[in-house]
Amino acid sequence: MDTVTTIPAVRARVAAWRAAGERVAFVPTMGNLHAGHISLIELARRHGQRFVASIFVNPMQFGPNEDFNHYPRTPDRDAQMLAAAGCDLMFLPDVAEMYPSGPEIATRVEVPGLSTILCGAFRPGHFEGVATVVAKLFNIVQPEVAVFGEKDFQQLTVIRRMVADLCLPVAIVGAPTMREADGLAMSSRNQYLDASQRGLAPRIHAELQRARERLARGERDPEQVGRDGAAALEAAGFRVDYFSVRRAADLQVPAAGDRDLVVLAAARLGRARLIDNLRVGD
Ligand code: PAF
């Protein structure tokens, strides 16, 4: 696997593959890779002959009081994991490469409606930062296929909408959430949990399962399901941002009769903000 840090170097490599008729699959990441990322990479490999991963901790998607400076950065270990997973190219740009005028004044991509609800209500500007950097990465790598984890279901939905609205020629594939043995969704931020918080953290998945079962059994009041899930997590010691039942297609509040649903939660334990979700009817 080669590692490149500049946009022209990625473009040259990808252009040569494309000239040889090879399909390029892409996984954008912020690094600090774990088994969840590797599962994205393995899925990406089924969709192309060449595989690119980017590692970039994107300042535009972090709020002023968030963990941008402390976000774990482990590029050497990430490179080893990517090489072992069969990656052809690792793109490791710095902030100046991605935002030559600085992230503050760069052109932004906004996805109205989707980016200000749920996590967007608690992290203003976050999804604008995600959509902007992903659009830039797509323009740099120009993949045929890109893979994103379903763990961040709202991010996946924002990206699908952006790709459709901007007519970007890339197929978006969602990869199932990878979980620890006790159900906790894998995340780089799990390492912020101390031992007792780590013991509590799987309650999010347990409450999502409980909510999903109620809905699958025909519970008619999704708002009550959300209130009950939030109350159970608060009682267990979480600070809950939201626990909500939404339509899977557009994350809007479901109307009577909507069947394709997703239950989403975001809750804080100490300095970790954990997100997770479950589709209803999976
Ligand atoms: O999910 C992530 O790791 C990031 O939000 C992404 C998609 C790499 C954009 O910075």
Among protein residues, the one whose CA lies closest to atom 6 of ligand 1: 29
Q: What is the mean pLDDT of residues 165-185?
A: 98
pLDDT of residue 32: 96
Cβ-based burial of 158 (10 A; exposed 0-12, middle 13-18, buried ≥19): buried
Specify whether the backbone of 218 is left (phi greater than 0), alpha (psi in -120 to 50) or beta. left
pLDDT of residue 35: 94
Distance 113 CA to ligand 1 centre (A): 20
Distance 29 CA to ligand 1 centre (A): 5
Asked whether the predicted pLDDT for residue 264 surpasses 90, the reply is yes
| CATH 3.30.1300.10 placement within the chain | 188-280
DSSP string, 129-192: HHHHHHHHHHHHH--SEEEEETTSHHHHHHHHHHHHHTT-S-EEEEEPPPB-TTSPBP-GGGGG
Distance 91 CA to ligand 1 centre (A): 14
pLDDT of residue 220: 87
Q: Angle at CA 87, nearest 5°, toward 83 and 89?
A: 100
Asked whether the predicted pLDDT for residue 31 surpasses 90, the reply is yes
Distance 48 CA to ligand 1 centre (A): 21
Ligand 1 pocket by Cβ (under 6 Å) = 28-30, 58, 61, 130, 133-134, 152, 155
Atom of ligand 1 nearest to the CA of 57: 10
Atom of ligand 1 nearest to the CA of 130: 9
Residue to mutate, 30, 154, 187, ligand 1, most ligand atoms under 8 Å from C-beta? 30
Asked whether the predicted pLDDT for residue 120 surpasses 80, the reply is yes
Q: Is the pTM of this model over 0.85?
A: yes
Domain 188-280 matching CATH 3.30.1300.10: the answer reads yes
Atom of ligand 1 nearest to the CA of 28: 8
Asked whether the predicted pLDDT for residue 274 surpasses 90, the reply is yes
Q: Which helix (H) or strand (E) holds 280?
A: strand 272-280
Name the pLDDT band for 282 (thresholds 50, 70, 90): low
Residue-wise pLDDT for 67-96, tens only, equals 999 999 999 999 999 999 999 999 999 999
Calpha distance 184→194 (Å, rounded): 14
Residue-wise pLDDT for 131-147, tens only, equals 999 999 999 999 999 99
Average pLDDT, the chain: 97
* Cβ-based neighbours of 171, under 8 Å, separated by 6 or more: 47, 144, 145, 146
Asked whether the predicted pLDDT for residue 10 surpasses 80, the reply is yes
- Asked if 120 and 147 touch (Cβ cutoff 8 Å), the reply is no
Distance 84 CA to ligand 1 centre (A): 21
Among protein residues, the one whose CA lies closest to atom 8 of ligand 1: 29
At the fourth CATH level, which superfamily is domain 2-175?
A: HUPs (3.40.50.620)
Atom of ligand 1 nearest to the CA of 149: 1
Tokens at 76, concatenated: 């050497």
pLDDT of residue 281: 75
Distance 225 CA to ligand 1 centre (A): 29
| CATH 3.40.50.620 placement within the chain | 2-175
The conformation of residue 278, written as its DSSP 8-state character, comes to E
Atom of ligand 1 nearest to the CA of 30: 3
Known catalytic membership, residue 47: no
Residue to mutate, 98, 108, 152, ligand 1, most ligand atoms under 8 Å from C-beta? 152
Whole-number percent of the chain with pLDDT over 90: 97
Question: Which has the closest alpha carbon to 229: 207, 209, 251?
Answer: 207
- Asked if 235 and 187 touch (Cβ cutoff 8 Å), the reply is no
